[in-house]
Each structure stands twice: as structure tokens, then as C-alpha cells.
Amino acid sequence: MQDQIKGKVAIITGASSGIGKAIAKKLAEHGVKVVLGARRIEQLKNIAEEIVTNGGEAMVMQTDVTQRADLQQLVAAAVEKFGQLDVIINNAGIGQLSRIDELDVDGWDQMIDVNLKGVLYGIAAAIPVFKQQNAGHIINVISTSGIKIVPEQGVYAGTKNAVRTISEAFRQESDGRIRITGISPGVVKTDLATNIKNEVMKTAILENMEKSAIHPDAIANAVVYAMSQPLDVEIGDIVIRPSVQR
């Protein structure tokens, strides 16, 4: 698989920790030139430094996916530095979990802006480059929360299912030159819970992670697999979760 993706250029949003960080490091190990975007620039710099020290190629740019211009600048910077863009991995996400009747409207807005509009902004920034190149690959990190609907995750799952719907629609619209893959992780060891305002939900999520979460490398390996396929093969949906997750 390494030879098949070596030399490709990939953007990863939300790359400063968790799944995004794991994807960046794994792709770099396989010879992919990685472009890391997130709000936490110092963490990005540390990851890029580690990648370069280990012989890889990486660049970073402070990126807020809720700002369309940031995604446009990230794509432009990737093309300027590396001459092409092969893959965009829309990974940035946030979860404000609570009952709907608690009316955390600010949390709803956050999730819509990051989980949904952030993905759309990434897609919108990359498609013109992909069309010009006559090739490209969009990978959207979604969630199993959109597959099994449970209390306290309604709006979060809604944003994730919106991405799933958009991904499938674009797959049908595309003539195959631009491939699209959705990866839905289950419980993964990340810092997703750190931003949850609802303390009861935060505690429950952290306890669940402690008991059953899998390593982010499992998701990174799926990205490598999807990217490694021949150009006439598209991996549409991948669900990855702990074997004990119900």
C-alpha cells in the first residue's frame, strides 16, 4: 500500500490531536505529503516537526473550519507548496451532547458550524482543484452516532447524518474522477469529550472511552486503505468501532 499512496498530497483538518493527528502521522509514514490544519497552531507545529524528523514532509496552517476563507487558503497553500492536492480529509468535529429539551442552542450552532458547514467548506475549497486535475479524493470522518440514534446525541447525530447524506449525493453526482469516502468511527480514544459543556455527559463519555475505546490508529489505517485503492475503485463507507460497542 505504501507505494500506491507515496508522493500523494493530503490535507487533514482537525489535525492537532486525536484521529487527525493519527491520520497525519500514519500517512506521513507511507510517504504522503501532509498539510495539517487546525486552530491550535503550536500542536500542529509539534506534529509536523516530528514528521519531518522521521523523514516525512509536512506543512501547517492555522485553520478554523467555520471560516470558509481559511479552507480556501489551506487548499491554496497546499497546491502552492506541493504542486497538487490529491486528498482532503474533513476530520474536524465537535460534540456538544445534551438532551434536545435542554435547549443548548449555542451548542447546536457550534456543531452545525464545525461538523456540517466545516465539511462543506472543505469540499467547496477542494473541488475546483480536483476538477482542474481531473482527479481527487474526499474523505469525510463521520460517526457511528449517525447510524445508531440514542438520547443526548440527537443534534450531534443529525450533523453527522447530514454529512453522510451529502457524501452519498456527491458520489452519485460525480463521474468517478472525484472519489468520496465516509469513515464512521465508534468510540475512539480522543479528546472529543474535553469540549463537552454538559458535565454529566462528559463524565459518561470519558468513562465509556476508558472501558472500550479503540486507538485512533484504527481510523488512520482505514484512511490508508481507502486512499490505496486503484483510481477506478471507490470505498464508499467504512464503519470502525470497538468490537464490544453495541
d(CA 238, CA 43): 28
> Which three cell numbers mark 173?
453526482
Phi/psi at 244 (5° precision): -95, -5
Q: Hey, how many other C-beta atoms are within 10 angstroms of the C-beta on 73? A: 16
d(CA 22, CA 70): 22
Q: Which residue has the cell 487546525?
A: 38
Instruction: Considering the candidates 156, 213, 214, 219, report the single residue annotated as catalytic.
Output: 156
The whole-number pLDDT of residue 195 equals 73
d(CA 81, CA 62): 16
The whole-number pLDDT of residue 1 equals 46
**Structural Rg of the chain based on CA atoms:** 17
d(CA 167, CA 171): 6
User: From first to last of its 246 residues, what are the pLDDT tens digits of the chain?
Assistant: 457 899 999 999 999 999 999 999 999 999 999 999 999 999 999 999 999 999 999 999 999 999 999 999 999 999 999 999 999 999 999 998 899 999 999 999 999 999 999 999 999 999 999 999 999 999 999 999 989 899 989 999 999 999 999 999 999 999 899 999 999 999 887 777 667 777 777 777 776 666 778 999 999 999 999 999 999 999 999 999 998 887
What one-character-per-residue DSSP string does 92-135 give? --------GGG--HHHHHHHIIIIIIHHHHHHHHHHHHHHHHT-
The whole-number pLDDT of residue 209 equals 67
Choose among 114, 71, 91: nearest CA to 23: 91
Look up the CATH superfamily of 2-185+216-240.
NAD(P)-binding Rossmann-like Domain (3.40.50.720)
Q: Which residue has the cell 459543556?
A: 197
The whole-number pLDDT of residue 227 equals 97
Distances from the Cα of 50 to the Cαs of 5, 47, 111, 191, 210, in angstroms? 20, 5, 31, 20, 27
156 carries an active-site annotation: yes
- Tell me what percent of the chain is helix, strand and coil, each rounded to the nearest 5: 50, 15, 30
Which residues lie closer than 8 Å to 5 by C-beta, 6 or more apart? 27, 30, 31, 32, 224, 227, 228
What one-character-per-residue DSSP string does 26-93 give? HHHHTT-EEEEEES-HHHHHHHHHHHHHTT--EEEEE--TTSHHHHHHHHHHHHHHHS---EEEE---
Q: Hey, how many other C-beta atoms are within 10 angstroms of the C-beta on 102? A: 10
